[in-house]
Amino acid sequence: MTKRMVDLDGLLAGSLSRRTAVKAGLFSAVALGGIGVNRSVHGQAGGRLVIGKPGEVLNLDPHFSSSQITWEIQAVVYESLVFLDDTLSPVPGLAESWETPDDRTYVFALRQGVMFHNGREMTADDVVYSLRRVLESPESWWNVKMGPAVEPDPATVEAAASAEAMGTPTPVGNRIGVTVEATGDYQVTATLTEAYSPFLQSLSATTTSIVPAAEVESGEIDITTTLVGTGPFRVVEHAPDQRWVFGKFAEYWQPGGAQLDEVVWQIIPDETARVASLRTGEVQLALFENPAVLDLLASDENITTVEQTTTNYYILFVNGNQPELADQRVRQAISLAMDREEINQAALFGRGTVTGPIAQAFSELATPITELPFYSRDVERARALLAEAGFEEGLALQLLVTPALAATVTMAEVLQEQLAEAGIEIEIVQRDLATFVADYTDGESSQLAISWWAGYSDPYLILVELGNGQATFIGMDDPAVDDLISRAAAATDPATRVTIMRELEAAIATLGNFQPMVTRNNFIAYRNDQLANVTFAAADGFGLPLWHNLKDMTLTQ
Amino acid sequence: MGRYIATRILTACLTIWGVATIVFLLMHLIPGGIVEALAGPAVSQRPELVARIMEKYGLDQPLIVQYGKWLGNALRGDLGVSLGTNLPIMDEIVRKGRITIELAGAATLVSLLIGVPMGLLAALRSRSGVDGFVRITALVGLSIPDFVLGTLLIYFVSTRDIGLPVSQYIPWSDGVGGHVKSMVMPTFVLAVGITAVVMRVIRASMLDVLNEPYVVTARAKGVRERMVITRHVLRAALIPTVTIVGINMGYLLSGAIIVEQLFSVPGLGRYAIQGILGRDYPVAQATVVVGTLAFVLANLVTDILYAYLDPRIKY
């Protein structure tokens, strides 16, 4: 087995800047002989790549879809204004370049000659329509990450209120302080009400895909049942629950375009069956949930396994709405009683990284774990805090998990033993995924719960969910946190941003409602005898290891 | 007979309506909903988003209104669209139904082709080595769960190249050879359990019938042994077998859930599971109703076959 680990943290040790460090790191990975990068030597263009996929997509609309299983497909068909490089930093995508005349104005110069899969050229109108659709639709969930929140327009509120009074509940939606206008055939200008540092980052997701405006608006293309974008692959066939077939898009704008003729996502729900299919070579690449699979495949010399560092992490949600957990000291005691590295070892076989609210992969922003308040295990202090809070005799709590996220069940068992040492008795409750999600997000049904969230390409994009009344489901509604979040958004100077983000991280760790534990890395395995030019970004924040790399992969035969 | 069938069809309709109603209520009673599935965990606490999604799918209306609409549409053959994929459910059920019918039919056929002769042999050579072999095989076949047998098979096939795809469904359109190969393992795993049952039932009922006075009489009359077995014994012994196969057929048609999941067969069983786990209400309701329909129909056909096989039975 050729084992390669893209470990951003390791690479970033020392005083190198984030970007140069990763470049150096990738170079060393190549030099060690892990992967081929020289196209002429290893692979040849053409052919069909088969990827094993655990399930069917859910909600195909790119602007509203919120599950990784759907993003995976959308990511090769659609593209956004901004792409992400290896270090998750924004680089030009469908926008060739951008200028910021002041910190509230972004002028994007669009690429010319970019074709949609239906053969029409992309213009500024498509970009404006797509971004407005995400920003303004009440169905949008990504919009809160795209700009400063502003008070809803009084007229809209009034209209909604009167409709409500007539018996028709009318959601107002979020109003985001971003206006997007076409200022030329190939120029789009975004104006923000306030400076907003993660703006470019927020335009890199599949949720900000550029769709063909006129066709979508007229109903000629229904983006809830098909996909038409500007990406390197276009949809050829979809047999529901069976497979997705994508063909190389001949008019793709990037020189060289996709190397493969066809990419097939074969749906194989059972993880054991995916392992077996990889062994026989029926599929050449697959992603796995269970880290143990990597060890299982280690004996096969034709299979290379990869662990990709991510910013996604497993979180213990501590619901402060519950009377037992209302006291901050109890939540802190839980954090102190926890041994995160042991959880990593037991549940993920050490294939994760212990993390605080800012994933360690964001190494410039993240506080070192040992310096985060309440993150180093101290059972004595935990007991003392419980006693101060009036629980000298300890207390009993329920911990909600779902077997659909397999690793979380093991995490719960480890946590049960660790918390017992501090006098907290845990009862583990298992539910199916939909019940689990409903119970942990309704604010009433659960005390403790373990789930995972995508970490995206900037820590702000996840931490914004903890402010302004959005995290009341875990009883978190702290004016200081809200203030730090809006200051972090407005901070454009890198050094100021680091200070504010670290303050925010410490405040979240001190409150203890939201306790990230360990990263959820991507586990990938592929056939090294059939695939060449396989590269992965040094870090990922969407569960999309193939994203911008798939088009460069080739087959060896 | 005509009257009997009419009554049976009427009860079948009532049964299906009852199941449809119960499923509708149960699906809406269990916690968790499509909103969580569509909006995702991080956002389902945003009330305006939840309200918008509820409204879009008509989930904000009173339950009774939703029920009435759904039932009315279903009667007209419109099962709605999936909330998860936006695809019309009727088309999906037809597409997936074909696959499930093929799988169930093939498994039943295989189990009869193996089970009947083996059961027959075991009964005729009662307490012999053959009998022992059949009985042990049947016991093992009955005892081993689908998922264990399936997983073992997948492991076996993945470590030895025997030319079968591991866990891939290959449609007819990709070639007949490939399709048949891709159906071998799921059919085998499904057939094992039913074959075991058929063997045991045939063996037991043959042994019962062999001691009946009319068999003794037939032999006393000098009828050739071959005729005694085929004309008298086997025919009588087939009646319980028809019941068993009928019941199993209903079960298989409603979707062999585990086998479909394990071998990635895009049939009704997997569709049902997705509908239930994803709280895709219309899909879950439609698949359960179609499953009930298959079950009720299979039972009806079984009862009618009875009358044909056993002249003593009159309706």
Has residue A5 got a pLDDT over 50? no
Of A141, A172, A439, nearest to B39 by CB-CB distance is A141
Has residue A49 got a pLDDT over 90? yes
Host H or E run for residue A294 = helix A292-296
Q: Among positive and negative, which fits the CA dihedral B26, B28, B29, B30?
A: positive
Least confident segment among A436-450, A535-549, B32-46: B32-46
Q: Give the pLDDT confidence score for residue A140 in this predicted structure.
A: 86
Q: Give the pLDDT confidence score for residue B9 in this predicted structure.
A: 85
The Cα-based distances of A136 to A61, A146, A174 in angstroms read 15, 11, 7
Has residue A397 got a pLDDT over 60? yes
pLDDT in tens, B231-242: 888 888 888 888
> For the residues A55-66, what does the mean pLDDT come to?
88
Measured in angstroms, the CA of B105 and the nearest CA of chain A are apart by: 21
Has residue A355 got a pLDDT over 50? yes
> For the residues A319-341, what does the mean pLDDT come to?
97
Distance, CA of A338 to CA of A214 (rounded, Å): 54
Give the pLDDT band (50/70/90) at residue A119.
Answer: very high
- Let me know: does A86 contact A457? Beta carbons within 8 Å: no
In a mutagenesis test of the B interface, which of A242, A299, A463 is the best target, namely the one with the most B β-carbons within 10 Å? A242
Give the pLDDT band (50/70/90) at residue A1.
Answer: very low
Has residue A543 got a pLDDT over 80? yes
Measured in angstroms, the CA of A281 and the nearest CA of chain B are apart by: 9
Q: Is B168 close to A282, i.e. CB distance below 8 A?
A: yes
Average pLDDT, chain A: 88
Has residue B36 got a pLDDT over 80? no
Give the pLDDT band (50/70/90) at residue A173.
Answer: low
Distance, CA of A128 to CA of A139 (rounded, Å): 18
Has residue A98 got a pLDDT over 90? yes
Measured in angstroms, the CA of A527 and the nearest CA of chain B are apart by: 14
> For the residues A239-251, what does the mean pLDDT come to?
94
Residue window 189-248, chain B: list those with CB within 8 Å of chain A: none
Distance, CA of A394 to CA of A369 (rounded, Å): 27
pLDDT in tens, A176-194: 899 999 999 999 999 999 9
- Let me know: does A37 contact A12? Beta carbons within 8 Å: no
Has residue A163 got a pLDDT over 70? no
Of B38, B52, B171, nearest to A239 by CB-CB distance is B171
> For the residues A474-492, what does the mean pLDDT come to?
93
Average pLDDT, chain B: 86
Has residue B296 got a pLDDT over 80? yes
Q: Is B76 exposed, middle or buried (0-12, 13-18, 19+ CB in 10 A)?
A: exposed
> For the residues A230-247, what does the mean pLDDT come to?
94
Give the pLDDT band (50/70/90) at residue B230.
Answer: confident
Q: Is A270 close to B264, i.e. CB distance below 8 A?
A: yes
Give the pLDDT band (50/70/90) at residue A90.
Answer: very high
Give the pLDDT band (50/70/90) at residue A527.
Answer: very high
Please report residues of B whose CB lies closer than 8 A to that of A279. 158-159, 166
The two structure tokens encoding residue B52: 């918008």
> For the residues A380-400, what does the mean pLDDT come to?
96
Kindly give the residue spans of alpha helices, DSSP state H, lying in chain B: 2-29, 34-39, 47-56, 63-75, 89-124, 129-143, 146-159, 176-210, 213-221, 225-227, 235-253, 257-262, 268-277, 281-309
> For the residues A431-453, what does the mean pLDDT come to?
88
Has residue B294 got a pLDDT over 90? no
Least confident segment among A53-57, A415-419, A432-436, B139-143: A432-436
Host H or E run for residue A75 = helix A68-77
Residue window 29-88, chain B: list those with CB within 8 Å of chain A: 30-33, 36-49, 51-53, 55-56, 60, 84-87
Has residue A35 got a pLDDT over 60? no
The Cα-based distances of B169 to A251, A543, B181, B264 in angstroms read 32, 26, 9, 6
Q: Give the pLDDT confidence score for residue A15 in this predicted structure.
A: 29
Has residue A25 got a pLDDT over 80? no
Distance, CA of B120 to CA of B235 (rounded, Å): 12
Give the pLDDT band (50/70/90) at residue A10.
Answer: very low
> How many CB pairs below 8 Å do chains A and B form together?
164
Kindly give the residue spans of alpha helices, DSSP state H, lying in A466-541: 479-490, 494-511
pLDDT in tens, A304-313: 999 999 999 9
Has residue A87 got a pLDDT over 80? yes
Q: Is B279 close to A434, i.e. CB distance below 8 A?
A: yes
Residue window 136-155, chain B: list those with CB within 8 Å of chain A: 151, 154-155
Closest CA to A462 of A382, A355, A386, A305: A355
Measured in angstroms, the CA of A476 and the nearest CA of chain B are apart by: 12
Has residue A377 got a pLDDT over 80? yes
Measured in angstroms, the CA of A13 and the nearest CA of chain B are apart by: 32
Give the pLDDT band (50/70/90) at residue A346.
Answer: very high
Whole-structure pTM value: 0.83
Q: Is B86 close to A239, i.e. CB distance below 8 A?
A: no
Give the pLDDT band (50/70/90) at residue A28.
Answer: very low
- Let me know: does A121 contact A234? Beta carbons within 8 Å: no
Q: Give the pLDDT confidence score for residue A168 in this predicted structure.
A: 54
> For the residues A266-272, what does the mean pLDDT come to?
90
Has residue A549 got a pLDDT over 70? yes
Write the ipTM: 0.78
DSSP per-residue letters across B221-260: HT--HHHIIIIIIIHHHHHHHHHHHHHHHHHHHT--HHHH
Q: Which residue has the higher pLDDT, B88 or A434?
A: B88
- Report the percent of chain A where pLDDT is more than 70: 88
Q: Is B75 exposed, middle or buried (0-12, 13-18, 19+ CB in 10 A)?
A: exposed
